[in-house]
């Protein structure tokens, strides 16, 4: 994998990786249990995969697997 591989991750992908609903993910962000959202573009927010990897490597690995399976 290239060293510049750091895709944008939306709340829906994180919710699937955590086996939670998007609403629960948003609640966990508000309570500080998940890192705060960052702007992906003008209309979307989410995280960089590196941010999620620093927060929880296991969840980031599950996201990696989901992204590979979807490709």
pLDDT at 1: 53
pLDDT at 40: 86
71 confidence band (pLDDT: 50, 70, 90)? confident
Q: Which of 64, 57, 71, 62 is nearest to 5 (CA)?
A: 64
Q: Which of 47, 49, 27 is nearest to 35 (CA)?
A: 47
**Comparison of pLDDT for 66 and 71, the residue scoring more:** 66
3-state secondary structure at position 34: coil
Q: Can you give the residue ranges of every domain in the chain?
A: 8-70
State pTM to two decimals. Answer: 0.88
If phi over 0 gives left and psi between -120 and 50 gives alpha, with beta otherwise, what is residue 32?
A: left
- Tens-place pLDDT, residues 10-25: 999 999 999 999 999 9
CA distance linking residue 64 with residue 49, whole number of Å: 8
């Amino acid at each position: 994998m290239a060293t510049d591989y750091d895709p944008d991750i939306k709340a829906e992908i994180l919710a699937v990786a955590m086996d939670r609903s998007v609403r629960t993910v948003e609640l966990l962000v508000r309570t500080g249990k998940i890192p705060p959202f960052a702007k992906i573009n003008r209309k979307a927010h989410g995280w960089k995969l590196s941010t999620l990897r620093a927060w929880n490597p296991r969840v980031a690995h599950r996201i990696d697997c989901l992204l590979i399976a979807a490709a």
